[in-house]
Amino acid sequence: MTQTQLILDQVVLIKVDATIYGARKKLNKEDLVLADGSKLPPEDLASLGSKRLLDPDRLSVFNRLKKEAERICLRVGTRFLGGFIVPVAAAALVTTELDRIAGDFAQARAEFLDGYDAAVQDWMVKHPEFASIIEKAIDSVALVATRLAFDYLVVSVALPEQLPKQEVERLESKIGSLSEQMFHEIAVDANLLVEQSLLGKEQVTRNALRPIKRIRDKLDGLSFLDHRVAPVVATIDNLLGKIPTRGSIEGGLLQEILATAMLLADPDKTRRHGEGLLAVQAPAIQTGDDVEENLHSEEPETSMLSACPSSFITEVAQDVPDFTDLFDGIFDDAIDAESTTDDWALDVLLDKHPSDLETGHSTEEDPDPNHAAEPATVTVGDDEEADDSDQDYWF
């Protein structure tokens, strides 16, 4: 079995299908009142744009719900083929949340349609000079109803039995890019944490660690995408293990949190960090004679493993990711643009991180057996759907 199929066997593809009425129509020349002598540019030079048919705030709830659905998928998954690749173990909780959003969307849709005529009239009252051009473009309630819908689809993805070598390589390249996309999404989240919650702070509360915990869970759930992920998860586990159960976080510990977040905000440094820890761990596999010799050696141990208590190693090795708090605090942050990361973050973590830790993978069962039957299977050939969803990675 190929590495590509091994990855595909551990995930499902979730497609979120949200249709939102735009309440816009093309602005025509006759809609404009021009002063004498005024001249519009030709159509090949400039277009007139569009006119709004009602207050856009009345549609904001639908856009918010669509964004929330995408954020829920991104909490544990990554973008792929216009949808979201999600670990099988987390799929049931994701679909439960999407069902909730579907219910909220349906309720908001009914309320909007009931008040549609009044909303249009209010808009014309607000813009009396242009009421006539609004009235000419109004859509019927029946038409608007067809343009407001929310649904989702869960499918498994598999390689076709017969596929030209060139197409196989093309798909494998797409699967290979999942790791890069995952690290990019993590970097966006970490950068927001640095900019909004950590920089310039002398102390923070435990709530500031929620984004790091979410990043940790996402990386752990998708660790099969890249061998360098597990050591990074161990770095975060080591940090979270130092956090006090109560009280504010300050001093050196706060600096280590900042260093970790700045490391995660740089995809390249995050990959190099994981690669470096794996290189350190490799010589750790020793024979019995090697262990005996080391026990009697008076040379000081310089490996990062010496900084890690054995009890902590055992605790982390037995840890299994828990998705029960997957969507806690989903509206805590808002994603913005990426920023650069200082090199000192990597140095701090390499100095502090206990390596050679093992992490588990969730095997949580579907809490709602009545919801999702076995996902349908789709095969990937020549045609690939473009990713038309908004690039919003906020959690």
Domain stop point among 116, 137, 158 = 158
Give the per-residue pLDDT at 310.
38
Alpha carbon distance 230, 223 (integer Å): 6
What average pLDDT is seen over the chain?
75
Give the per-residue pLDDT at 287.
47
Distances (CA, A) of 184 to 118, 178, 264: 44, 10, 9
Q: Do 226 and 317 fall into the same domain?
A: yes
- Reported as type and span, the H/E element at residue 239 is helix 229-240
User: 149-169 burial string, b = 16+ CB within 10 Å, else e?
Assistant: bbebebebbebeeebeeeeee
The answer to whether position 386 is within a domain reads no
The answer to whether position 337 is within a domain reads yes
Q: Do 205 and 353 fall into the same domain?
A: yes
Mean pLDDT of the 45-70 span: 87
The answer to whether position 369 is within a domain reads no
Alpha carbon distance 270, 260 (integer Å): 9
Q: Are 231 and 277 in contact (CB under 8 A)?
A: yes
**Residue 139 CA to chain centroid, in angstroms?**
36
Q: Do 20 and 146 fall into the same domain?
A: yes
Dihedral (CA of 297, 303, 306, 310) sign: negative
Mean pLDDT of the 321-333 span: 47
Taking each helix axis from N to C terminus, what angle separates 310-317 and 229-240, rounded to the nearest 10 degrees? Answer: 120
Q: Do 176 and 144 fall into the same domain?
A: no
Give the per-residue pLDDT at 296.
45
pTM assigned to the model: 0.66
Q: Do 132 and 250 fall into the same domain?
A: no
Q: Do 242 and 113 fall into the same domain?
A: no
The answer to whether position 375 is within a domain reads no
Residue scoring higher pLDDT (329 or 88): 88
Query: Which of helix, strand or coil describes residue 50?
Result: strand
Q: Do 139 and 172 fall into the same domain?
A: no
Q: Are 14 and 94 in contact (CB under 8 A)?
A: yes
Q: Do 196 and 304 fall into the same domain?
A: yes
Q: Do 324 and 220 fall into the same domain?
A: yes
Bridge partners, 52 (sequence order): 24
Domain count, the chain: 2
Q: Residue 145: pLDDT band by 50, 70, 90 thresholds? A: very high
Domain stop point among 143, 158, 173 = 158
Domain stop point among 114, 141, 158 = 158
List the Cα angle 233/350/187 in 5-degree steps. 50
Q: Do 192 and 334 fall into the same domain?
A: yes
The answer to whether position 63 is within a domain reads yes
101 pLDDT more than 80:
yes
Helix and strand totals (H; E) in the chain: 14, 9
Q: Are 84 and 390 in contact (CB under 8 A)?
A: no
Q: Do 331 and 347 fall into the same domain?
A: yes
Termini Cα distance of the chain: 35
Give the per-residue pLDDT at 37.
55
Q: Of 391, 271, 248, 254, which Cα lies nearest the Cα of 341?
A: 271
State the residue range of the domain holding 70. Answer: 3-31+46-158
Q: Would you call 238 exposed, middle or buried from its count of C-beta atoms within 10 A (0-12, 13-18, 19+)?
A: buried
Bridge partners, 29 (sequence order): none
Question: pLDDT above 70 covers what percent of the chain?
Answer: 66
Name the one residue in this structure whose structure tokens are 């900084």. 307
Mean pLDDT of the 327-348 span: 43
Q: Do 342 and 240 fall into the same domain?
A: yes
348 pLDDT more than 90:
no
